[in-house]
Amino acid sequence: MREKELEKLKDYKYGFSTDIENFKAPKGLNEDVIKFISNIKKEPKWLLDWRLKAYNRVKVLKEPNWQKPKYPKIDYQDLYYYSAPKSFKEKPNSLDELDPKLIETYNKLGIPLNEQKRLNGIAVDAVFDSVSVATTFKDTLTEKGIIFCSISEAIQKHPDLVKKYLGSVIPITDHYFATLNSAVFTDGSFVYIPPGVRCPMELSTYFRINASDTGQFERTLIIADKGSYVSYLEGCTAPMRDENQLHAANVELIALDDAEIKYSTVQNWYPGDKDGKGGIYNFVTKRGLCKGKNSKISWTQVETGSAITWKYPSCILQGDNSVGEFYSIAITNNHQKADTGTKMIHLGKNTKSKIISKGISAGFSDMTYRGLVDISPKSSNSSNYTQCDSLLMGNKCGAHTIPYIKNKNANSNIAHEATTSKISDEQLHYCQQRGLNSEEAVSLIVNGFCKEVLQQLPMEFAVEAQKLVGISLEGSVG
Amino acid sequence: MENFKTDFEKVLKNNNLSEKEVAFKNLNAKEFSSHGFPNRKDEDWKFSDINQIIKKEIGELNFYNEQLKKSEIDKDILLNEIEHNKLFFINGQLVHIDFNSEDKGKIEFLDNQNNIDEQLADNSLINLNNALSNKSYKLLVKKNYQIKKPLIIYHTTNSELTSQNINFKINFELEENSSLKLIDLVKDKGNKNFINIFYNFSLEKNSILKNYKIDQFENDNIRYMFNNIKQSSNSVSETFYLSKGSTFSKNEIFCDLKGEHSSAFVNGIFSLNKSKHHEIKAKINHLVENTKSYQLVKSVLENKSRSVYQGKIYVDSKAQKTDGYQLSKAILVDETTEFNAKPELEIYADDVKCSHGSASGSLDENSIFYLMSRGLSYKEARELLINGFLVEVINQITDEPIKKLIKNLYGLKNEY
């Protein structure tokens, strides 16, 4: 039995679970649970009202069903909407008070929470199930006036900022999963960069689902004030469990005049086993608003995990001269399914957007790029360039491209290109001739295929992502 | 929908129908009444809400097509530039059949076919067509016969005709080694009618189909044409659309490449102005190995017009070595126009070469400047660029006399 589990861990090294006592809200979705969450987080009344308003909408909304990957019906009453380590009933004040088991978990994941050990200067906010457990490098950031903390803390300490921006990009009138998140979100990160400040280090959040039967609903809010710059990273893992777990996060980005936000994700949730059993449903809503003039939002994602990935990090280019970028690598293997892409909504004048998407599918998996480029009549002199390439390995998998292109402005240009192909025998032969085995050769070719996107990642992550690409495709070429 | 019910009763009463046909019509009528006209909530009609368009442009439709007197053929309508066979439809009624230039017994045209499909279509406009159209027509091209002259199907309406729904259906069968050149020519005098035409093509081994649909002349009708093509091995289909004249038009093509080495070519031109709204939707299904498809659609849009291109390449897991290509380009001449595209790839096989491209934007000011610096006026320079842009599509036509005819009809000089 034990050996079997170890065997499984080889495939997904983050698949262990931490044996820790949990404190949970009662199962099910109802007003009481929402009040319970709000109460335990000591939230002000306006937020509770906001949550309840969202909940009332969830009751009448229907789940969307136009996506390619279909999934069995989710029983929303059979989920825990709040789960926290028991030692968190009162939040610990410093790292020393933190449950050693938690610290150990994060060490195992390669995220040492102890700041001293951290060499490469990345500030981390770690989220475990429903709560944020620790945020590192707080002092250095506070000196610059940067606020980087959990969203629960921000609600307490910076209510004005939260109230002003929460739900301004993803309103509670949005689609089903986003609205569900607004009703029951538990924790997440909050970032505020004051005017003119260039954030001196990478900010990072690490999400971990541990408890079983839990949905994770985190909410991230990033505000870059005038002339500021921030680069933000997000990583995720979960233990291996046989049942499917739901992850429905909301991420809102707001860039004011001349500000720039760079948001990178390395998503490696548990993808399910070789037969497609278990794994995370990753139904995330990510949206950025280029509110000010000359602002820029850039999304980079490396999606290798999850049983089903269903997300479209989007940019609303409202400010004149604003820029939106989307770089994506999505890899599916075994029975994984992904329906991902982006939306670029051009509203302001002289707005530019760029989409580079690389999809790789192997095994029995299915991958869809779905994207929207919409240039409105007022958005003159705007342009978009889209390139989406798919790579297929074997004839049991699928790769699909569904772009929606709407050009309503005569002075704007949209260009779109897509190709689908496989790794050619010549390429493989060439690499193997020079002494690489077939897996190394595939890994090398795939990394070359993804290069344009990998280059966009911060250095430390790029190395990790490159390895991840190799690992995800292991065993797919025979 | 009240109109539809009473008119449908009339269709059942006034036509001599077998029990089976009645049952089939009833089934389709039920299907249509429950769905109604497609609207933008249907993914296939996302960009062209025909329910709204009919409501706005026509209002109440008459569904029962009463054929009281035989209409006279208007000689002006006939094309004299090219010798051809004729099928002449006026107000949805077939009034003239002429296959005089062909060998006897090689081409059969039947007008009393039972109109029954095996499967109920998942398209409410085809349901409507099945419920209301009378006996369907069938054209058979016999084995090893190559048609000598093109067949022109004239689609015309009388000036008295208004707010009328016209439906008809033709099945084409091309036996082994046969070929057919077919021109659909739209020349309408009636106004504000909804015309719904359904063609089935069955292409046997080595057969060749060339279909040119020409909607060149101004008219304010709403038009839906569906081509359903099934191709056996080595067969070739070529479909060309000149989409210009009608107020609204949607051309749909659904093509199954079922035999190895079969290929399908779809080419289209949108040349729109005056608030017109046209769409081409193509779905090519590559079901076996070594098949090929090619789609090229170009738009030039002026004055509040709007064009839509929805193209899909489907590649089955068995269909290795597929070659699929789509390209759509649009020039938005002024501020008020809109171009929508949804070029889709759905691929389940790995050894394939599939790609698509789409580009849209304004006329290139640098090119205009270049031409003007060589002495052309702004207007001439613009015209030259637009014609050059569109003629690339017309040049894809493989039949020389028809290519010439279409260039003439479109008003292009021969030097292009």
pLDDT in tens, A62-80: 888 888 888 888 888 887 7
Task: Note whether A421 contacts B339, CB cutoff 8 Å.
Answer: no
Task: Note whether A413 contacts B340, CB cutoff 8 Å.
Answer: no
What is the model's pLDDT at position A214? 65
Task: Note whether A418 contacts B343, CB cutoff 8 Å.
Answer: yes
pLDDT tens digits for A50-63? Answer: 899 898 888 888 88
Q: Which of A456-470, B292-306, B369-383 has the lowest mean pLDDT?
A: A456-470
What is the model's pLDDT at position A118? 47
Q: Which residue of A has its CA nearest to B302?
A: A410
In terms of pLDDT, which residue wins out, A341 or A237?
A: A341
B319 close to A (CB below 8 A): no
pLDDT(A2) > 60: no
CA distance A382 to chain B (A): 10
pLDDT tens digits for A119-173? Answer: 455 566 666 665 665 666 777 788 888 888 888 888 888 989 998 998 899 988 8
**CB-closest option in A392, A406, A409 to B340:** A406
* Chain B 130-159, residues with CB within 8 Å of chain A CB atoms: none
Q: Which residue of A has its CA nearest to B320?
A: A395
B288 close to A (CB below 8 A): no
B231 close to B260: Cβ distance less than 8 angstroms: no
Q: Which residue of B has its CA nearest to A399?
A: B347
Residue appearing with tokens 């004249």: B245
What is the model's pLDDT at position B67? 67
Task: Note whether A401 contacts B344, CB cutoff 8 Å.
Answer: yes
Q: Report the C-alpha gap between A51 and A219 in whole angstroms.
A: 13
Task: Note whether A395 contacts B320, CB cutoff 8 Å.
Answer: yes
Mean pLDDT of B68-82: 76
Average pLDDT along chain A: 81
B334 close to A (CB below 8 A): yes
pLDDT(A115) > 60: no
What is the model's pLDDT at position A326? 93
Among B43, B295, B350, the residue to mutate for chain A (most A Cβ within 10 A): B350
Amino acid at B52: Q
A285 close to A178: Cβ distance less than 8 angstroms: yes
What is the model's pLDDT at position A124? 67
pLDDT(B133) > 90: no
Q: Which residues of A touch B (CB under 8 A)?
A: 66, 377, 390, 392-422
Task: Note whether B343 contacts A422, CB cutoff 8 Å.
Answer: no
Around A19, how many Cα atoms within 13 Å sit in the side-chain half-sphere?
0
Mean pLDDT of A456-474: 75
Among A391, A420, A428, A445, the residue to mutate for chain B (most B Cβ within 10 A): A420
Residue B205 token pair: 């081994």
Average pLDDT along chain B: 87
H or E stretch at A57: helix A45-60
Task: Note whether A405 contacts B341, CB cutoff 8 Å.
Answer: yes
Please state the φ and ψ torsions of residue A399, each to the nearest 5 degrees: -135, 125
Q: Report the C-alpha gap between A357 and A372 in whole angstroms.
A: 13
What is the model's pLDDT at position B77? 80
Q: pLDDT band at A20, cuts 50/70/90?
A: low
Task: Note whether B357 contacts A418, CB cutoff 8 Å.
Answer: yes
pLDDT tens digits for A94-108? Answer: 555 666 666 666 666
Task: Note whether B349 contacts A390, CB cutoff 8 Å.
Answer: no
B320 close to A (CB below 8 A): yes
Q: pLDDT band at A287, cuts 50/70/90?
A: very high
pLDDT tens digits for B206-224? Answer: 999 999 999 888 888 899 9
**CB-closest option in B333, B356, B360 to A418:** B356
Chain B residues with CB under 8 Å of A371 CB are none
Residue A345: partners with Cβ closer than 8 Å, 6 or more residues away: A314, A315, A316, A317, A372, A374, A376
Task: Note whether B317 contacts A396, CB cutoff 8 Å.
Answer: yes
The gap from C-alpha A326 to its chain's centroid, in whole angstroms, comes to: 13
In terms of pLDDT, which residue wins out, B19 or A113?
A: B19
B5 close to A (CB below 8 A): no
| Strand segments (E) across A43-184 | 83-85, 122-128, 131-135, 147-150
Among B329, B334, B347, the residue to mutate for chain A (most A Cβ within 10 A): B347
CA distance A55 to chain B (A): 26
CA distance B280 to chain A (A): 15
- How long, in residues, is chain A? 478
Q: pLDDT band at B68, cuts 50/70/90?
A: low
Task: Note whether B352 contacts A422, CB cutoff 8 Å.
Answer: yes
pLDDT tens digits for A239-277? Answer: 666 667 788 889 999 999 999 999 988 887 777 777 777
Task: Note whether A421 contacts B352, CB cutoff 8 Å.
Answer: yes
Q: Report the C-alpha gap between A41 and A89 in whole angstroms.
A: 10
**Which DSSP string do the residues of A273-334 spell out, in sequence order?**
-TTS-SEEEEEEEEEEEE-STT-EEEEEEEE---SEEEE--EEEE-STT-EEEEEEEEEE-T
What is the model's pLDDT at position B372? 93
Task: Note whether A420 contacts B355, CB cutoff 8 Å.
Answer: yes
B388 close to A (CB below 8 A): no
pLDDT tens digits for A166-219? Answer: 889 998 888 888 998 888 888 888 899 999 999 888 887 777 666 666 667 888
Residue B251: partners with Cβ closer than 8 Å, 6 or more residues away: B213, B225, B227, B241, B243, B268, B279, B280, B281
Amino acid at B377: S
B364 close to A (CB below 8 A): no
Q: Report the C-alpha gap between B65 and B155 in whole angstroms.
A: 15
Task: Note whether A405 contacts B356, CB cutoff 8 Å.
Answer: no
**CB-closest option in A66, A398, A413 to B348:** A398
What is the model's pLDDT at position B165? 86
CA distance A179 to chain B (A): 22
What is the model's pLDDT at position B284? 93
What is the model's pLDDT at position B22? 82
pLDDT tens digits for A381-438? Answer: 999 999 988 888 888 888 899 999 999 888 888 999 888 888 888 888 999 999 888 8
What is the model's pLDDT at position B218? 87
% of residues, chain B, pLDDT over 70? 97
Task: Note whether A421 contacts B337, CB cutoff 8 Å.
Answer: no
A408 close to A377: Cβ distance less than 8 angstroms: yes
pLDDT tens digits for B297-323? Answer: 999 999 899 999 999 999 998 888 899
Per-residue 3-state assignment (H helix, E strand, C coil) for A121-153: CEEEEEEECCEEEEECCHHHHHHCCCEEEEHHH
Q: What are the Cα distances from residue A98, in Å, to A114, A126, A210, B339, B389?
A: 11, 12, 17, 58, 69
pLDDT(A83) > 80: no
CA distance B357 to chain A (A): 4
What is the model's pLDDT at position A104? 67
In terms of pLDDT, which residue wins out, A15 or B385?
A: B385
pLDDT tens digits for A338-394? Answer: 999 999 999 999 999 999 999 988 888 889 999 999 999 989 899 999 998 888 888
B112 close to B179: Cβ distance less than 8 angstroms: no
Q: Which residue of B has its CA nearest to A408?
A: B338
pLDDT(A4) > 70: no
Q: Which residue of B has its CA nearest to A401?
A: B345
Task: Note whether B342 contacts A403, CB cutoff 8 Å.
Answer: yes
CA distance A285 to chain B (A): 22
CA distance B303 to chain A (A): 11
Q: pLDDT band at A117, cuts 50/70/90?
A: very low
**CB-closest option in B345, B349, B360 to A418:** B345
pLDDT(A1) > 60: no
pLDDT(B281) > 60: yes
